[in-house]
Structure 1
C-alpha cells in the first residue's frame, strides 16, 4: 500500500509513531497532483511551497516534543467555497477571480489549529449550483473511475481529489446533496452533518438555511475523525447549535464490529422502495437491496416506511434554494470586491453593476437568481416560496413520524451511477433529478451519510443513511457496519477466487 492509497486514520497513526513525516506524506500527494490533475481537474489552486512549509513546521513541532493532535501533519483539500486567509477563494466563479480573503472560515481555522496541511482548493460548480461540476467557470472535473463521466457536484473537485488519490480526505459542502451525491458516484464516504452543528461562518453562501459543510473520505472512520475536528458551536454563526460535539469516531469503531441487534432500519418507500423504482437504474436498486440485506444479517430489523411529502422535495427545494440564492448573491456587485466590469468612467454605478454581474455569473447561476427573484416577487411570494416552505414543514413532520418507529432511514444516494459528461448540461430538469434522494434530509436539516455499497456496470453506487437531528453517530454506526460487512464479503470472494479457504476454516 502506498502513501496516497492509505486512509487518513492510518496516516495519522504512522505520523504519530514516527514511521512517516508530514513532509513525506505531503510530498507524495503533491507529486501525484502534479502528475494527474492536469487530466482530472480536481484543483483550482495548489501552493506546493506553502504546503511543504506547513508540513515542515508540523514535523519540527513533533521532533521538539510538542503535544500534537491526531490530525497534525495529515494533508487535506478544501472546497473553494471555504474562505481561506491569503489563499485564492473563488467559489468556482469569475466574479471572485483572484480574490484572497483576509480571514479564515471557522472550519478552516479549526483545521489549521489541528495541524492539517492544506494541499489546495478544489473545483466546484459555481456558487455550489450544480450536480456535475460542469458549471465551474474554470475547468471541468472528471470522475477518476471513468474520465468521460461526472464526479458529481457541486463538490466534484473534492470527490475527485480523494477518489483519485490526490488528497487523503477533503471538505465539501452540501445544500441539496452536494457532499453525498459526489461521494456516491466516486465510491467515497460523504456525510452531511445536522444543520447548525458545523459552523457556516466563512462559507460563501448559496442557500443559508440549507448549506452545511462536511467530510468526504475513503472510510467511515476517516469521515468521523474529520467531522469531529470541524464540529462545534460557533458564536460567529447565528444558526450554530450550542451542543456538545458527539463522539463520532467511537460510533464508527463500534459499528465496524458488525453488531446491529436492536436497531430498526426504515426503507423509504418514496426513495426507491417498493413500488417507487421508476427512474432508478436496476443495478443501483440491486446494490441497495443487497446492502439492506447485509444490515438485516447483522441483526437490524428492517421495515418499509412511507414519507409521502418526500415526493414534493424536488420542486420545494428548487424554489427555496434559488430564492435564498437571489438574496445572497446580491452582494456580488463589483463595488466591494471581486470582478468590476465596465468601469471606464462612461457608465453610472447601476450600469457597472449590471455589466459585472453579466460577465461574472455563469448560466446556471443566472438561471437560479432569476427563478429565485421571481418566486420572491410581489404577488408570487405566497404562491411559490410560501408554499415551498409549507412542503418543507411537511417533510420535517414525515421524518419525525418515521423516527418514532425506526432508528434510521435508508435509501439509494442517487438513482443512477455517474452519467456521462455533457449528457445533461442542456436539460436542467434531468440534472436536478440527480438530487432526488438527497433533498429531503437537506430540507429537514437532519444528518445523512453516503457509503459505497458496490458497483453497477463497473461504477460506484452509494447507500444513504439518515438519522434524527443531532444523531449523527447513528449514521456513522450503520455506515461503518455496512462498510465492514462489505469488506469481509469482498475478502471472502477474493479467497474463493484464489482457491483458498478462509482462515480458521477446514481445508
Structure 2
C-alpha cells in the first residue's frame, strides 16, 4: 500500500468492497512504519497488537457507507488521551501514564472504526517548534533527515510525510500543526477555537490549544476535521455551531474567481528570500485564476510573539501545577519531606523548555508584575484580534507564508530560545484571535529543495472558504504530488 497513490475516499471504497481487508491494510501499514522508523523516529508508542485485533473485528463485521474511517490506519499525537494506551506528552513526567478514558476526538474516531496505529512524538507538553524538546528522541524530517520536522506536532507531520499514514491528529497552540505541515510539505489545519473539543487533551495553553489534522490532501483534511468537530458537553469552550460538510462543497467547480485575498505586508518582513519567492509565485497563481489580491496591514503582528509567550506560559504554569509527584505521573525517589517531593519530582520530571516556560508564566502572574506583563499582553491580544476583524470587513481570506524559513538543521537553534520562539511569528497571531488557518504545500526552496508552506487564514467558523481556497490551489498545482525520499535525495 502506497498512501501517496490513494486517498481516504478511495481507501474507504476499497475496504467496503473488500478489494483489500482491514487486516491486510493494517499489517502493511506497520511494515512500512517499521521500515522507516529507525530513520524518521515519528512514533513514541506503536499500538500493533490492539490495531491488528480491531482490524480483524472490522473485517468480520463489515463496513457501512457512513463509516468513512472504519479500518483506516491513522496516528494520534501523544498529548491526546487514549484509554489504556500510554500517553506521555513526550515527558518523563508521564513516561508510564496510561489514561482511563479517551479524549473526545479519539472517542468519535473509535465510533467510526478507525485503527489507531500509535502515538506520535512531540515537543514535551507541546512546548517547542522542532520536536527536539521531546524527552525521548528527536524526530527527523523525511525530506532531509538532518533537518527538524517542526513542532510541536512534528511526529504526526513526519508520519504523514513519510507515507506511514494518511492522516495524524495534532494540536496547535501557536502554530504546532501549521509549522510542521509547512516543513514537511503536507496539509495542516487549525480549526476555529471551539470548533473541536479539547476534552482529553493534555493542556498547555487552554485558551489557545486546538486539535486538528495533518494530512496529504485538502479533501482528506476536510473529511477528517468534520468527523471530530462539534459541541461536547465535557468542554464548555466547544461551540454549538452546526458543523458543515466541508468536503461536499469541494469539487472541480470550486473557484477563486472574485475571491478577495488580503496579503499583510508584515508577513513578508524578515522572511527568507527563498520562501518569499515561492509565496510570491503562489499569490501570482491565485491571481491568474481570478482572485483579487491587495496588500493590507496587520500592525500589531510584531507584538504577537512576546504577548503570546507571556500568556501561553502563564496558562502553562497554571495547568502544569497538577504534576506534583503525589497524584499521578513521575515521583522522585528518596525524598525527605513533602516539599522535597514537589521540588525534586518537578525538577527531574520536566525538561528544560517546560521549566523555562513555567518560570516565565509564574513570574508574569506574580504580585507586582501581573499588570506590567500578563494584563498588558492580554490587551495586545485584543488589538491583534481587532486587526483581523478590520481586514475581514473587506476580504475573504488572508494569505502569507506559514514560516519565515524552511526546516532548519537539527541542533541549529535548540540552544537559542529567542530565535526558536521567533519561528512562530507568522502563526501565533491566528491563535491569539482564535481563527481557522491552514498550511498547504506551495512549492520548494530554490536553495535547499525543502518544502515551503502557504498559510490561509479565514474568518471565525468559516473553514469552508479556507478549504475552498486551498483546494483550488492544490488542484491547479503540483507541489502536493511530490513525495520525499528518505535521506534527502530530493
Aligning the two structures, in what range does the TM-score lie when normalised by the shorter sequence? over 0.9
- Pairing partner for 1:452 from 441, 458, 463: 441
Alignment map for 1:184-333 (pairs within 5 Å): 184-251=182-249, 253-254=250-251, 256-257=252-253, 259-272=255-268, 276=269, 278=270, 280-333=271-324
- Cα distance in 2 for partners of 1:68, 1:412 equals 36
Q: SS of 1:476's equivalent?
A: helix
Q: Which residue in the other structure is 1:38 paired with?
A: 38
Structure 1: distance between partners of 2:360 and 2:480: 48
Query: Where do 1:45-444 residues align within 5 Å?
Result: 45-62=45-62, 68-251=66-249, 253-254=250-251, 256-257=252-253, 259-272=255-268, 276=269, 278=270, 280-342=271-333, 344=334, 347-444=336-433
From the superposition, tell whether residues 66 and 485 of structure 1 become closer, same or farther in structure 2 (CA, over 3 Å).
closer
Q: Distance in 1 between matches of 2:19 and 2:73?
A: 16
Describe the SS at the equivalent of 2:174.
coil
Q: In the aligned structure 1, how far is the partner of 2:319 from the partner of 2:481?
A: 47
Q: CA 1:407 to 1:87, structure 2 compared with 1: closer, same or farther past 3 Å?
A: same
Q: Note the alpha carbon deviations across 1:453-498, whole angstroms, 9 max, x for none.
A: 000021000000001110011110000111111139989xxxxxxx
Is the Cα–Cα contact under 8 Å of residues 185 and 480 in structure 2 kept in the other structure? Answer: no
- Aligned residue number for residue 6 of structure 1: 6
**Is the contact made by 1:257 and 1:481 (CA closer than 8 Å) also made in structure 2?**
no
CA distance in 2, matches of 1:430, 1:185: 17
The separation in 1 between residues aligned to 2:302 and 2:15, in whole angstroms, is: 48
Match of 1:497 in 2: none
Q: CA deviation at 1:257?
A: 3.8
Deviation at 1:419, TM superposition (A): 0.1
* RMSD of aligned residue pairs (Cα, Å): 1.5
Using the TM superposition, give the Cα deviation of residue 4 of structure 1 relative to its aligned residue in structure 2, in angstroms. 6.2
Do the aligned partners of 1:258 and 1:485 also contact (CA within 8 Å) in 2? no
SS in 2 for 1:172: strand
Q: Does the 8 Å CA contact 2:404/2:426 hold for their aligned counterparts?
A: yes
How far apart are residue 294 of structure 1 and its match? Answer: 1.2
What is aligned with 1:485?
476
Distance 2:479 2:153 in 1: 30
Q: Quote the Cα distance in structure 2 between the aligned partners of 1:354 and 1:403.
A: 48
Once residues 167 and 49 of structure 1 are traced to their aligned partners in structure 2, the CA distance between those partners, rounded to angstroms, is: 17
Mapped contact 2:12–2:68 kept (Cα < 8 A): yes
Q: Work out the CA distance in 2 between the residues paired with 1:349 and 1:110.
A: 40
Q: Larger Cα Rg: Structure 1 or Structure 2?
A: 1
Change (3 A) 1:118 1:327: same
Following TM superposition, where does structure 1 have runs of at least 4 consecutive aligned residues deviating by more than 2 angstroms?
1-10, 65-68, 487-491
| In structure 2, distance between residues paired with 1:351 and 1:36 | 43
Please state whether the residue corresponding to 1:271 is helix, strand or coil. Answer: helix
> How far, CA to CA, are the matches of 1:424 and 1:328 in structure 2?
27
Q: Deviations 1:1-58 (Å, cap 9, x if unpaired)?
A: 7356532332223222322211121111100111111221100000211111111111
Q: Distance in 2 between matches of 1:144 and 1:50?
A: 27
Aligned partners of 2:146 and 2:409 also within 8 Å: yes
Q: Give the SS at the match of 2:423.
A: helix
How far, CA to CA, are the matches of 2:275 and 2:407 in structure 1? 11
**SS of residue matched to 2:135:** coil
> Does the 8 A contact of 1:258 with 1:484 survive in 2?
no
TM-score by length of 2: 0.96
Q: Is the CA contact 1:9–1:221 (under 8 Å) kept in the aligned structure 2? A: no
1:19 equivalent in structure 2: 19
